[in-house]
Amino acid sequence: MYYTYTLSLIELIHVAQALNNVAILYSDNSRSLVITGHPSATTNKQSIDVTHPPTLCSDFQSSKTFQSGWIGINGYDDDLFFAGLYSWSINYNFDTNQVIVYFSKRCPKDLKNSLLKLLEESSGVKQSEVCISFTDLSWEKSQSKERYASSLNKIKSYIKAGDCYQVNLTQRFEASCGWNKRQAIHAFFHSAINSHADYCAFIEIADNHFVASISPEQFIECDHGTMMTKPIKGTVKSTGRITKEQTSELQNSKNRAENLMIVDLLRNDLSKVSRLHSVNVTKLFDIESFNNVHHLVSTITSEIDCSKHTPFTAFLSAFPGGSITGAPKKRAQEIITELEAHPRRFYCGSIFMWDNDLDKFQSNILIRTVEIEKKKAFCWGGGGIVADSQLDEEYMESLNKIAHITGKLIET
* Residue numbers annotated as active site: 217, 233
CA angle, corner 371, sides to 12 and 126, nearest 5? 20
Closest CA to 390 of 141, 146, 153: 153
Largest CA distance in the chain: 64
Could you tell me if 319 and 307 are in contact, meaning their C-beta atoms sit under 8 angstroms apart? no
State the Cα–Cα distance between residues 388 and 217, nearest whole angstrom.
Answer: 25
Q: What contacts 267, CB < 8 A, 6 or more positions away?
A: 279, 281, 300
Cα–chain center distance at 124 = 32
Query: How far apart are the C-alpha atoms of 71 and 54, rounded to whole Å?
Result: 16
- CA 347 to chain centroid, in Å, comes to 9
Cβ burial of 411 (10 Å; 0-12, 13-18, 19+) is exposed
